[in-house]
Amino acid sequence: MERLHLHLLSDSTGETLEMVAKAALAQFESADVVRHFWPMVRSQQHLDRIMTEISANPGLVMFTVVSTEIRERLEQRCTALGLRSVAALDTVTDALETLLGQEAKGRPGRQHLMDDAYFRRVDAIQFTIAHDDGIASDNWEQADIILAGVSRSSKTPTSIYLANRGFRVANIPIVVESPPPPSLFAVRRPLVVGLTTSPERLIQVRRNRLLSLNQAPETSYVDNEHVTREVQYARRMFADNGWPVIDVSRRSIEETAAAVINLYNERHNSRAPGGTEIARDEQSWTETRKGSAQ
């Protein structure tokens, strides 16, 4: 398979462009792709220096650039070199302009502005870190979501991912020998979600964890009977309290988080008058916050 040089050129951090490229490349197995990352391109002089590098490693050029002058110069240079260039967000932006009846602002990195939504995400991350692994249970009523599950059921990474989406998340391990505090069963505002997995998968993950820590691989932590009892105990608790359950056995962190967000939206849609409540993501965070506080 011939090697492809993929050049990702952005006038901002390039995070969005990188995610688009990653999602597209995931559709091609064993593709031999070398990615070249060019962020913060905001002058023609900078672009010219980059084009020298691109000409030395010709390939596909993907870009997110709002400056008309820089875009035109980039496309002209790519055409002269016989390279294909793709404006990654143009189709979506054009469709939104038509449907919304207004022109895009044309400002680089608008999604990274330090606005109210940004500081709310910072607050969500701080809250989530401070309420990891059962800590500060007295404050759980302030959470949007509480994740419960046995050890190594992806609670912490899922919590952090959700926090980056603006959700205040607490998580608690479910341990047979140490039942959760009563405050878990008394919360009203947060959505409590149970995370579960198969005992076989859990044992595998735990063994890998012990090996990475150079600890003894044969303990009750990975004993089949003990682990099975743990999983059953947690599932019974989830069922007894009517908490929704997500099996994370074959889910990535992103997939688990997406499932949690769907449950969160469904819950708030059912509570909002006329079903108008929507997810806490970016600008919609404010509407959800107001609705859940009423």
Helix (H, G, I), strand (E, B) or coil at 178: strand
Helix (H, G, I), strand (E, B) or coil at 95: helix
Distance of CA 132 to the CA centre of its chain: 17
The rounded distance, in Å, linking the Cα atoms of 61 and 48 is 14
The rounded distance, in Å, linking the Cα atoms of 73 and 57 is 19
Other CB atoms closer than 10 Å to residue 178's CB: what's the count?
Answer: 9
Predicted local confidence at residue 285, as pLDDT = 34
Question: Is the pLDDT assigned to residue 282 strictly greater than 80?
Answer: no
Predicted local confidence at residue 277, as pLDDT = 38
The token duo for 207 is: 């063994």
Question: Is the pLDDT assigned to residue 287 strictly greater than 80?
Answer: no
Instruction: State pLDDT tens for residues 190-234.
Output: 999 999 999 999 999 998 888 888 787 778 888 999 999 999 999
Share of the chain above pLDDT 70, in %: 87
Beta strands per DSSP E along the chain: 4-10, 33-38, 60-64, 85-87, 145-149, 169-173, 191-196, 245-247
Q: Give pTM, 2 decimals.
A: 0.64
152: left (phi over 0), alpha (psi -120 to 50) or beta: left
Other CB atoms closer than 10 Å to residue 150's CB: what's the count?
Answer: 23
Cα-flanking dihedrals φ and ψ of residue 162, to 5°? -65, -35
The percent of the chain in helix, strand and coil, each rounded to the nearest 5, is 55, 15, 30
Q: Name the band, by pLDDT with cuts 50, 70 and 90, for residue 289.
A: very low
Q: Name the band, by pLDDT with cuts 50, 70 and 90, for residue 107.
A: low
Q: Are 14 and 82 in contact (CB under 8 A)?
A: no
Whole-number average pLDDT of the chain: 86
Predicted local confidence at residue 31, as pLDDT = 87
Angle between helices 284-293 and 116-130 (to 10 degrees): 60
Helix (H, G, I), strand (E, B) or coil at 4: strand
Question: Is the pLDDT assigned to residue 242 strictly greater than 60?
Answer: yes
Q: Which residues pair with 172 in a beta bridge?
A: 148
Instruction: State pLDDT tens for residues 148-202.
Output: 999 999 999 999 999 998 999 999 999 999 999 999 999 999 999 999 999 999 9
Question: Is the pLDDT assigned to residue 92 strictly greater than 90?
Answer: no
| Residue reference for tokens 């002209």 | 76
The token duo for 292 is: 């859940």
